[in-house]
Amino acid sequence: MSSSEFDLIHACFRKEARIFSALTQVGNGDDASVHQVPEGQHLVVSTDTAVAGVHWPHDFPLAMAADRAVCAALSDLAAMGAKAHWAWVSVMASDTKSLQSMGQGVTHALNRYQVELSGGDTVQSPLNALTVTVSGLIPEKQAMQRNQAKVGDDVWLLGRVGFASLGLKDWFSGVRESDFLTSFQHITPQLEHGETLRDLGVRCCMDVSDGLWQDAEHLCQASHVGINIKLESLPEWKNMLDAVGEETAMQAMLSGGEDYALLFTAASGMSGLSSLAINIGCCVEGNQVSVHLHDKPVMPKTRGFDHFKP
In the chain the domains, ranked by start, together with CATH numbers, are: 3-139 (3.30.1330.10), 154-298 (3.90.650.10)
Distance CA 310, CA 53 (A): 16
- In which band, very low, low, confident or very high, does the pLDDT at 302 lie, cut at 50, 70 and 90? confident
Distance CA 33, CA 181 (A): 37
Instruction: Kindly report, residue by residue over 57-94, the tens digit of the pLDDT.
Output: 999 999 999 999 999 999 999 999 999 999 999 999 99
Distance CA 110, CA 192 (A): 15
> How many CA atoms lie less than 13 Å away from 223 in the CB half-sphere?
32
Cα-based angle 234, 260, 292 (whole degrees, multiple of 5): 25
What is the predicted pLDDT for the residue at 309? 55
pTM: 0.93
Q: What is the DSSP letter of 269?
A: T
Instruction: Kindly report, residue by residue over 167-201, the tens digit of the pLDDT.
Output: 999 999 999 999 899 999 999 999 999 999 999 99
Indicate if the pLDDT at residue 1 is higher than 50: no
Question: In terms of Cα–Cα distance, which of 194, 208, 210 is closest to 305?
Answer: 210
Work out the average pLDDT over 147-165: 97
Q: At what angle do helices 246-255 and 212-223 cross, to 10 degrees?
A: 40
What is the predicted pLDDT for the residue at 71? 98
